[in-house]
Amino acid sequence: MTSTDENSGKREGFFSRLKKRFSNTPEGNTDGSAATAPGSRGLSLGLGSLGWLSDTVLDEELAEELEDQLLVADVGVETTGKILAELKKRAPKSESVVSALRSILNEIVSPRAVPLIVDQNAKPYVILMVGVNGSGKTTTIGKLARHFKSQGLSVMLAAGDTFRAAAVEQLQAWGDRNDVPVIAQGPGADPAAVIFDAIEAARSRNIDVLLADTAGRLQNQEGLMRELQKIVRVAGKTDSASPHEKMLVLDSSLGQNALAQALQFHDAIELTGITMTKLDGGAKGGTLVALANRLDVPFRFIGTGEQADHLETFDPEGFIDTLLATENTTDSN
């Protein structure tokens, strides 16, 4: 797994940390979410332990139990039904239930694991960051600034959130921390105008990447969603391909509501990437599976903590290993 920290080789991989946190041990199980339920057959899912099912026959009882665990893990009704239907077809022919389940999850999730690659011929490469309030959008911008600078790219930030109190100050703090310029205007300024000016400023300074913040908005706020569409149109006047990335930041702890947000933001502006935050806070990993099944949008990054280096490229194999609590051979330390 890739880390943005130049010293990441010294830092334990995120999925290894998660498996320890959500293991079925008194010290690892911090909130009980991964504990094996009384009367179950060693089955627990939701960034917890699925247990070893290699010698288990997929009978009706186990299928029902697995269905319950998938639903509790926020996989959702539609995706759970798809997984179970496919599992019933494959399990009798597979060497184990867990290997069949792994294959199914891999087929759903892996196609969405597409790293974000900046086109350096597009200067600036504009990344429009969108999401609801509290999703971790501005913090993610700060982490991305560090990520791109570590790749040798020049970065600028655009303070397009002109409504939230202290939003500009928060973004400026991240700019200072990463030593990157921030383009901002006064409170209540037109966000589209701020971002347009930032694109022009970035172009004049030959900046590689422009990270544009936007005000948080609920997916059902039609007026604010139209404002977002306006921002996209205005950015496109500077370059028909701009914004080059429309990235939705989702709070993984919201479960199926995160899926609803993604579907409606995608309907409004045609998302090109998703970053999931707060996976270190006890969120159930099934939301990612539901997203992968319902929405053909790449998973770019996962937020793994509050520090500037706690952002990592999404690794599907590591994620599935963690979800099934099996050995992770892809997670680098």
Per-residue pLDDT tens for 240-291? 999 999 999 998 888 888 899 999 999 999 999 999 987 765 556 788 999 9
Rg (CA), the chain: 21
Q: Whole-prediction pTM value? A: 0.82
State which fold the 14-112 domain adopts. Four Helix Bundle (Hemerythrin (Met), subunit A) (1.20.120)
Note whether 157 and 145 are within 8 A (CB).
yes
pLDDT score, position 111 = 97
Separation between Cα atoms, residue 107 and residue 122, nearest integer Å: 33
pLDDT score, position 298 = 97
Q: Is 109 exposed, middle or buried (0-12, 13-18, 19+ CB in 10 A)?
A: buried
The CATH number that domain 125-314 falls under is 3.40.50.300
Separation between Cα atoms, residue 307 and residue 235, nearest integer Å: 30
**DSSP per-residue string spanning 223-237:** HHHHHHHHHHHHHHT
pLDDT score, position 65 = 84
pLDDT score, position 22 = 40
Give the residue-averaged pLDDT of 34-45. Answer: 36
Query: Residue 173 belongs to what H/E stretch?
Result: helix 167-178
Map out the domains of the chain as residue ranges: 14-112, 125-314
Say if residue 43's pLDDT is above 50. Answer: no
Longest distance between any two alpha carbons in the chain, whole Å = 66
Residue partners of 117: CB distance under 8 A and separation at least 6: none
Looking at every residue in the chain, the average pLDDT score rounds to: 80
Q: Considering only residues 91 and 209, tell me which one the structure prediction assigns the higher pLDDT.
A: 209
Separation between Cα atoms, residue 202 and residue 155, nearest integer Å: 9
Sign of CA dihedral 224, 173, 186, 235: negative
Say if residue 46's pLDDT is above 80. Answer: no
Give the residue-averaged pLDDT of 90-96. Answer: 72
Residue position matching structure tokens 């911008």: 141
In this structure, the number of other CB atoms found within 10 A of the CB of residue 212 comes to 32
**14-112 and 125-314 have identical folds:** no
pLDDT band at 49 (very low <50, low <70, confident <90, very high): very low
Separation between Cα atoms, residue 119 and residue 172, nearest integer Å: 25
CA 224 to chain centre: 22
pLDDT score, position 318 = 84
